Amino acid sequence: MVLPGLIGVLGGMGPLATVDFMQKLLAATPATRDQEHVPALISAIPQIPDRTQAFQGRGASPLPAMLACAKRLEAAGAGVIVIPCNTAHIWFEDLQTAMGIPMLHMVEAVMEEALATCGARLRIGLLATQATLASGLYGKHACAPDGRVVEWILPTGWDIRQCVSPGIAAVKAGRLDEGRDLLLRAACALHQRGAAAVVLGCTEIPVVLNDQNAPLPTIDATAALARRAVEWSRSALHGSEAPGVV
């Protein structure tokens, strides 16, 4: 049942972010016809308990449902698991321990691109859910292999409550204009506080923010994970060659 190069996408957190990830998977692949695209199997099963509420002790753990979805992907032949949801990475190690196949870490993919993009000036803003911010998910990855250290600029408590959290909720509810306005305001605040770039560290955020409309360069966590997944798939299929027919 295993298909070489088949990417398992543990999505649905939220559903729009999963569609955005699929678009970025296509954008990251050099292809002129259907058959040259990388193969993917996507779990868009959104009945996974809310990650932020669980982290804050206000709801059930998402781990059992995430594990059930990842096992579905493995059973169907996926060779790797990626999760286009930053906050879900709080449970990454637990999930990896329970799974029989490798997983690609979103924050590692982001850090690699951030270090390449930002040069010496490593004051980087971070827009993310309350749980991602409080968990230190990005903070743990602050040290580069070359010794440089990222100085993270996080939104203030006021900005989180007034802009970031309601902005993410608006995107999840499909109110994209409202979400864009709120999240742009939070990005501007980070820029004014000296951020040289901003990590879009919740997969709902790049649905509405990007390099064209933000006041500072953006580092898109969804796109970074998509690029890493395409690299994995293409190297699983003999170096950089296009995949063969099923």
Assess contact for 8 and 79: CB atoms under 8 A: yes
Q: Give the C-alpha distances (Å, rounded to integers) separating 142 from 112, 124, 133, 139, 147.
A: 11, 10, 13, 5, 10
* Rounded Cα distance, 88 and 152, in Å: 20
Separation in Å, CA 241 to CA 38, 95, 167, 181, 186: 11, 31, 41, 42, 42
Residue 42 near a copy of itself by CB under 8 A: yes
Q: Is 85 a catalytic residue?
A: yes
Question: Least CB distance from residue 63 to a copy of itself, whole Å?
Answer: 11
Residue 204 DSSP one-character state: T
In the residue annotation, 202 being an active-site residue is answered as yes
Hey, which residues between 159 and 198 contact a copy of itself (CB under 8 A)? 169, 172-174
Minimum CB–partner distance for residue 70 and a copy of itself (Å): 11
Q: 25, 214, 207, 219: which is closest to 111 by C-alpha?
A: 219
Choose between 149 and 245: whose C-beta lies nearer to a copy of itself. 245
Q: Pick the catalytic residue: 69, 118, 163, 202?
A: 202
| Cβ at position 61, least distance to a copy of itself in Å | 11
Helical (H) or strand (E) element with 36: none
Of 48 and 224, nearer to a copy of itself (C-beta) is 48
Q: Is 190 helix (H, G, I), strand (E, B) or coil?
A: helix
Answer for the pair 208, 171: CB distance below 8 angstroms, yes or no: yes
Nearer to a copy of itself, 75 or 116 (CB): 75
Subset of residues 58 to 97 that bind a copy of itself, contact rule: CB under 8 A: 60, 64-65, 68-69, 72-73, 75-77
Please identify which residue in 145, 149, 240, 245 interacts with a copy of itself, judged by CB under 8 A.
245
Positions that interact with a copy of itself (CB under 8 A): 1, 3, 6, 12-16, 18-19, 22-23, 26, 31-37, 39-50, 60, 64-65, 68-69, 72-73, 75-77, 169, 172-174, 243-246
The residues assigned a catalytic role are 85, 202
